[in-house]
Chain A
């Protein structure tokens, strides 16, 4: 465990402290070990799908592995997956950064409204996005269809963290760069963009991991990826072993993606202003660029939000099915909201120790835990759900198909979202701040509660809202893990759409979207609230 080399006095003091018998005794009593132990425990739970996949794949012989990977479609699908991942990730970075910059740093009219609207696609589940596009424009299909649908539904994962960073970062560095004679564009490229690098990298990581494992939305636009092959093995061959072998391939891809993120997100030191309040930048006057910028943002909002809203309205008006047991929508709504909120709280709480560990003790061990936790995101939902089924029924049978198990499944699925949000906000906390607080005589826990957590408050709120949003629309794992007899909005929506009752399904999709609106508003307000400063907190 290496100590961050920030405050000058920290290094010798920490060395002294480590050598001190009293410290060693205190360590033995547990306090400094709590964090690594808790973080490792979280990592173990979150990694159970990986263990499951490796265990299952281990039952396969080399011959069948060769045969599996030698199939004509496998190479094609692998290529599809890579092509799509790269394209959509690039597109979300571009749209996400531009939208964030325009709404947070320029004088474009309606900034706050745009900020909320731009985050709103998060409120629409991917399969609803997919269906809306396909039902309105049958020509939206294939590679470009997939790029369109996935970019429009995933770019908020980049937009929000980048917007938060731009809002919270200090204007001083940019002003210094300007005063040194750099042009606006050069400042944007050399100063502003690098400041958002961790946020961009974190967003890109989520987007690309998401794309590796996504299936439902691609099915809608009739584009097949490697995840399709895995679903086929599960769903038409009932062959968990072969499916797991294929899933291992996705995990290898995910390892590469995570490695790339680590490279892009870390890159030398970060500019963090210490000891004084961060001061927000003055909005950049757009001048004549105002109109094109407005048109651009309106176009993004129009395509990402307009299409789903229109399609949902269309369904609601057109649907002919009348067998809907209308009373159940309210209980499904309550169930959905309940699970989403509990999951959000648990996932956020679980992300804090892992993120803190990586932040306090950057090193191979802590980074390893973080990366392991991300890997799960690349697995198709059905693999994650079956893994939870597998372990739950063996080691926690009384809880099997009980509410805690569904929450646990959600936490496993959405932990990376929480971790990204918490890590992104920790990245802006100066490293010495906890040491300073402790040197003033505060106990560890008090420092955490009174200093560290308030500093990352926006990150915690972002994590909470993000997980709540995603959990409220989850389908695959919900179908397998929900307590028998309870229904969520997503499972009802699924029931009706598989019965071709789109009219009956529409209220559930609309309710899912409506339910998510407050979370998105919270997300944008908390993430982008007034820039927090050390002065306020300390």
Chain B
């Protein structure tokens, strides 16, 4: 196995960043966790543009994407990535507070890999993050070659 791919966490709420990082830390994953605080930053990272133009890490093992984001929102990030012929293979998990059906429907229309509503209860939240991390960063077999 080569170098571990990073996990890209796209989240604007500092509390959510903190809690998610805490949860990921508890799962003892070895992957780097990169935090993007808005949609633009997330796209820059994924497309290796702007401040991330010269990043050397590979593409993320999974993108944990919040739905509501400043500047460019989660749905748009999702859409732009999933429209890209090669980058669309990057797994994207919507990780959000929203229970709105329309958000879920549109996310799936754009090709989201999974949609997770953040549970209120911390242990449930922790379990969700852990399961996601383990599944996408460890169990899931990425497409061959560096996409």
Chains A and B bind each other: no
- B-side residues, CB < 8 A to A, are none
- A-side residues, CB < 8 A to B, are none
